[in-house]
Chains A and B, each alone.
Chain A
Amino acid sequence: MDIGYAFLVCSMLGILASIASSIAYLRGNDTRKIVKRANFAILTFTLLSFFTLLYYFLVRDFSVRYVFLYSDTHLPLVYTISAVWAGREGSLLLWLLYLSIFIVLSTRRLDKVTAFANAIMCIVAAFFNFLLLTSSNPFVRLSFHPPEGYGLNPLLRTPEMAIHPPAIFLGYAGMTVPFAFAIAATYYREEWVKRARNYLLVAWAFLGFGILLGAWWAYKTLGWGGYWGWDPVENSSLLPWLTASALLHGVIVEERKRGMKLLNYALAVVTFDLVILATFITRSGIISSVHAFARNKEAYAYMVLIALSLLLGFVVYIKRKDFFKCYHSYRLRERLIQGSVLIFALSTVTVLVGTLTPLLMHASVTRSFYRHIEIPLGTALVVLLGVCVVAYRESILRKSVLYSLAAGTLAGIVCFALTKLSLASLGVGIFVFSLAGVIQGYSSRKIDLRRAGAIAAHLGLILLFIGVMGSWMYESSYTNINMGVGQSVHAGDYTLKLNGFREVNGNAKFDVVAYVSVYRDGKLVGVLHPKLIIYNLMRSDRIVASVDIISLPLEDIYIAMGGVTPQGVASFEFYVVPLVSFVWIGSILIIAGGILAALQRREEKTRKGVVDAEGEG
């Protein structure tokens, strides 16, 4: 037995011990110490197993099948480390590692609720451990010792792709905590939000960070001038992010008014299920047809876990139905927050329908399907935000909304006068309307970390809105550009000129770099260096086109090289992408908002909560 595999077996024993001792504790025995030790053992052995796999990568032990498949002798150190999570097996190991960290962290103070939650989290850990021990074992050895590895997919050799999976999987694993605590606390008729809120925030922020890295990677690697293709893998990570966003808003109502308990409970369960679905889709990579799905043995295991968690959620709900009753009358602000939850929910349904279509019928939907629905929903969300942030005191609501409306209308008119673009002007108007709302809504209130987080995230959403609008609706693409050395071509307001090529010989690869000057109104804007990179690999996908981008404040100039003929004529795709930097800044602000809010200390929060409640009452 491989030592890494042995560590996994020990981790599994720890998981079983932790489940057994949690149950013993719930039955009245004082087994708290055993639970903690067992949890510590899970973490230690999973970590050891992870390090063993990492070690095999570092010493390039290609007799380990997984190491053979994802690395080779030329691979730089950083990408050799990131290759650990380049495939399914390593990703699942990372999932388990994160989950065991979360288990140790969230069960430091053990009471009944925590013990029950611990048992639930350990069952999830047992599930992943079981997959690692059976169908996704990373420690399988080949019967011979290959001198060279197959190599990491060249497209994954970027810093973004090195840290994208660890960020995403941290988010996924983290969503197990709110799920477990929602079920356990509800079972004992206690509040779960306070116990799990920070885990939810951290998981949400990291999930968002992972999605952003994926989008940024797609933008600068895939060469189609876009960052979001609505493909099943992207969608699957967006789904739990959407429901978690809904949950983050729902818990505000629950904390303030003790309301929306059932919906939040359901959202916690659904978010977890979407995380499991996403793990499956991301690492099996296959959702294109029913057949592919059925062929994958693990698919059934994932379906069973999803079904079991839904069943558990449902049973606890039936048993504690009385606990969910709410007797509060909501004010306008709570109603508006519920509106945002509704928009997130409808968004989720849209993405889910599109993502699952290939599974359910022999067809898929185009990108326009998503855009037709998500653009209006996103717009509605931004408008709602502009009203919601000033609705904390109903006396100032009417005046504030009027001010925002005036500002938005003015901005829209100015924009129309300048650009003559009606939809863009409407977008700018909505942008300014919500921005004015956020400024008015927060300027007169005391700022703590939690509120600072909300400001950042909401400003981020508004910037993301205008960025997405600009880049989706007003992108210009010129996909048919062919130039020989010295020739120039007009593309919209720009003129491109191919100055020449350079060949760069590296150890593991060979680059063909094109030098393309970009002019606007006769003035040089910059020189772009799109590349073709040819890797020394035995893989069939060893040629990669590398994009080059000049980022101006209001637009990106983006070029990708398709290929070069022996006569020296190169083909290019050229894009002008307006406002795309707003997408990145907006997304970073949203993520930063989650982190800021999670930094708020618990004691202060409780005190603050009381003050707020008094202020409103």
Chain B
Amino acid sequence: MKKLSILVGVVVIVFGIALAMSFKSELCPYVTVSYVVSKGEVRNVQVNGTIVPNSTKILPNNTLMFNLSDGRTEMRVIYHGILSHYQEGIPAVVVGSYYNGIFHAREVLLKCPSKYKVAEENYSTSKVLSKG
């Protein structure tokens, strides 16, 4: 009985440590464009904003560059891949890291719901952020 309690205790502690470590490394905070730009370098964050009209540049190899704005500050975003419902002037969440003055997006979530659930979330976040 005692041995068993120790075993369960060890399992739970190992689990707790693994959970905490994974949580720490995989946490991706929501931040604003102004925060990112003021920091200069930020890794693994989600930034909410609006795609600035007439800022898009389409480069070869499916690379897309555009500006993202939170109403106060703008930043340059670069993304490799297809965005099937890309449009200027719509809210977007970009996930990735900011360095050398450019945000390198790993993921771009657009409000226009090509991906239904993600879009719904976006919508709510953008609304909230614009309020507060």
> Which residues of A does B touch, CB under 8 Å?
153, 155-156, 221-224, 229, 231-233, 285-286, 288-289, 291-292, 295, 335, 342, 346, 349-350, 353, 357-358, 361-366, 368-369, 372-373, 376, 479-480, 482, 540-541, 543-545, 561-563, 571, 573
Contact = CB atoms under 8 A, between A and B. Distances in A.
Nearest to B30: A362
B43 interface: no
Max chain B C-beta neighbours (<10 A), residue from A233, A295, A372, A561: A372
B4 interface: yes
Contacts of B128: 288-289, 291-292, 295
Contacts of B124: 285-286, 288-289, 292
B22 A372 contact: yes
A153 B26 contact: no
B114 interface: yes
A289 B30 contact: yes
A363 B18 contact: no
Nearest to B82: A562
A369 B26 contact: yes
Given A288-B124, A291-B128, A480 B29 contact: no
Task: Name the prevailing secondary structure of the A interface residues.
Answer: mixed
Interface of B: 4, 8, 11-12, 15, 18-19, 22-23, 26-30, 46, 61-62, 80-85, 112-121, 124-125, 127-128, 131-132
Contact of A153 (B4, B23, B80, B116): B116
Given A288-B125, A366-B28, A543-B85, 14 more contacts: A222-B115, A222-B116, A229-B117, A286-B121, A291-B128, A291-B131, A292-B127, A361-B29, A363-B28, A365-B26, A372-B26, A373-B19, A480-B81, A540-B112
18 contacts: A153-B113, A155-B113, A156-B116, A222-B115, A223-B84, A233-B117, A291-B128, A353-B23, A357-B27, A361-B29, A365-B23, A372-B18, A480-B62, A541-B113, A541-B119, A543-B114, A562-B82, A563-B84
Chain A to chain B: the 6 pairs with minimum beta-carbon distance, closest first:
A369-B26, A562-B84, A363-B29, A562-B82, A372-B22, A291-B128
Contacts of A335: 4
A342 B121 CA distance: 32
B112 A364 contact: no
A545 B80 contact: no
A291 B125 CA distance: 9
B43 to A, nearest CB: 13
A291 B48 CA distance: 15
